[in-house]
Chains A and B, each alone.
Chain A
Amino acid sequence: MKPASVACWLSALALAAAAAQAEPAPDAARQRELVRLVRQDCGSCHGMRLTGGLGPALDAQRLADWPLDSLVATIYKGRPGTPMPGWSALLSEADATWIAQQLRQGFPSEAR
């Protein structure tokens, strides 16, 4: 393999990796969908007001100490042995990251 093609291949790999890491943050319309999804669908177990139920409460005080990446992983991949499913079929990793950040700050209410 010529050095030039190796460099080209490596840079392509690096670009792909960067793209995966830097998926665009959800836009305003997607954010509204995500707020609805969390309030309504996560709400089946965590409560519409996120005060807990079969799933634990998701208030900011409780989640503030959680490392962000572990919170994102819980949302994206689920927690084996518990009823928490991975939501990767319905969310991108960027969506999951945005949700985790909002949960740690106190999750927004649905626009009425």
Chain B
Amino acid sequence: MKRRTLLAAGGGALLAGCASWPGSAPARGTGDLGVVVARATGQLAVVDTTERRILGTIDGLGDLSHASVVYARDGAHAFVFGRDGAMSQVHLPSRRVLARLMQAGNSIGGAISQDGTLVAAQNYAPGGVRVFDARTLAPIADIPATYTAADGSQQRSRVVGLADLPGRRFVFSLFDADQVWVADLSDAAQPKITKFEGIGRQPYDALLTPDGRHYLAGLFGEDGLAMIDFWSPQPRARRILAGYGRGQQPLPVYKMPHLRGWAVAGRHAWLPAIGRHELLVVDTATWEEVGRVPVAGQPVFVMARPDGRQVWVNFAVPDYHKVQVVDTVSRQVVRTLEPGKAVLHMEFTPRGEAVWISSRDANHVSVIDTARFDTLARLPVEQPSGIFFTSRAARIGL
């Protein structure tokens, strides 16, 4: 009898073992997982957004200053892009690095194709985009961002604002060449490049609207943004919000705003004004400016809560201890929070009842209720920067 019980228990353990992910973690879903970049230590903290706790860390990821993460469709695998040009494939449930590739000299981010099969990295040095098989990391395409400079020489531009377009396509901006390119990898062996030239001076970052229709590139070299409507039969780049500074002397920009992460709320896009302490509100039906909201500093991230009712904003140094919340109906700042010095990033839980905020110098991540604004949890992470939840896996442009 006793022996039989032992055998049954052993069988149960064996079955549980089969059902689990690689490693020893028990089987679980991935919908409430995420990672927080601990940039000083080159680690990712794997977090659970339901339990609001750190499950463990993933080590050995190199230089994670300005690291970003994109998710595979399973929400279990993710790709980490490091400043040192490394792309790492990690597995959240087992908290392991599965593969690591030094794919460039200097990189700041990547994107995954709509069908989840291709992962692309945007590189500063050597300037261009490299595309890999998302499963094996085998190289698929190398797209140098070559352009003709003013002196007639061939140069490679730094690449910014990479996003996945519907189809096996990627769109990105060339900071040095004032261009936007689309790489179509329907036939991976023969990538087809479409170039939009003269889009405006120094595109510094870009976003794709949640429907995958409009690509907006922020311009550093002039007041305005470049916009391309990919639903148009003949997509072309046009200028929107041109001259928003109205000839005023811009303030110094201590940190480039980040456009990826979206502040498209309902029919309006909320955008950071560069060199000004303002948000610009633009109607995505007409692309006319419909309002401005003064804020506490130079905006860096302007992010809409998933329902679009609020927009949360953080700021460049020296105002980076603050976070402001704008009500999108009244277009008023309704709350100013101080969750800890050097706020670098914010991420909403999938349905937006809470937001996670990293405070680099305070060495913690705050979890804040977005209806009542009280702090639900505070988690210790050494110099936290980017926060990336698995809900990104299901969204285009992230």
Contacts and interface: CB of A to CB of B under 8 A. Distances in A.
Interface of A: 37, 40-41, 43-45, 47-49, 51-54, 78, 81, 83, 85-87, 89-90, 110, 112
A51 B204 contact: no
A53 B360 contact: no
B83 A54 contact: no
A51 B104 CA distance: 13
Contacts of B253: 83, 85
B135 to A, nearest CB: 29
B123 to A, nearest CB: 11
Contacts of A45: 255-256
B83 A41 contact: no
Given A51-B63, A90-B318, A112-B40, 7 more contacts: A49-B65, A51-B83, A53-B108, A83-B202, A83-B256, A87-B252, A89-B252
B63 A52 contact: no
Given A47-B63, A49-B65, A83 B220 contact: yes
A112 B342 CA distance: 17
Interface in B87-133: 106, 108, 124-125
Contacts of B108: 53
Contact of A86 (B63, B106, B252, B317): B252
Given A51-B106, A83-B204, A41 B63 contact: no
Contact of A54 (B254, B256, B361): B256
Majority-rule SS of A interface residues? loop
A52 B255 contact: no
- Ordered nearest first, which 7 A-B pairs have the shortest CB separation? A48-B65, A85-B252, A44-B255, A41-B317, A47-B83, A85-B253, A43-B65
Among the interface residues A44, A78, A110, which one has the most CB atoms of the partner chain B within 10 A?
A44
B201 to A, nearest CB: 10
Nearest to A85: B252
A72 B57 CA distance: 41
Contacts of A54: 124, 158, 160, 175, 204, 256
Contacts of B83: 47-49, 51, 53
A54 B65 CA distance: 13
A48 B63 contact: yes
A79 to B, nearest CB: 11
B178 interface: no
Tier of interface size on chain B: 20 to 34
B277 interface: no
A89 B124 CA distance: 29
Nearest to B252: A85
Contact of A52 (B125, B204, B254): B125
Nearest to A44: B255
B39 A52 contact: no
Contacts of B256: 44-45, 54, 83
Nearest to B220: A83
Interface of B: 39-40, 63, 65-66, 83-84, 106, 108, 124-125, 158, 160, 175, 202, 204, 220-221, 252-256, 317-318, 342, 360-361
A87 B254 CA distance: 8
A47 B63 CA distance: 9
Given A48-B83, A83-B204, A78 B252 contact: yes
B41 to A, nearest CB: 9
B46 to A, nearest CB: 22
Contacts of A40: 342, 360-361
A38 B163 CA distance: 30
Contacts of B252: 78, 85-87, 89
A16 B317 CA distance: 31
A90 B297 CA distance: 14
A45 B66 CA distance: 9
7 contacts: A47-B66, A48-B40, A51-B84, A53-B106, A53-B108, A53-B124, A89-B318
A30 B66 CA distance: 25
Given A41-B317, A52-B124, A90-B317, A47 B254 contact: no
A52 B108 CA distance: 11
B80 to A, nearest CB: 15
A21 B144 CA distance: 48
B266 to A, nearest CB: 31
A85 B254 CA distance: 6
A110 B361 CA distance: 13
Nearest to B62: A49
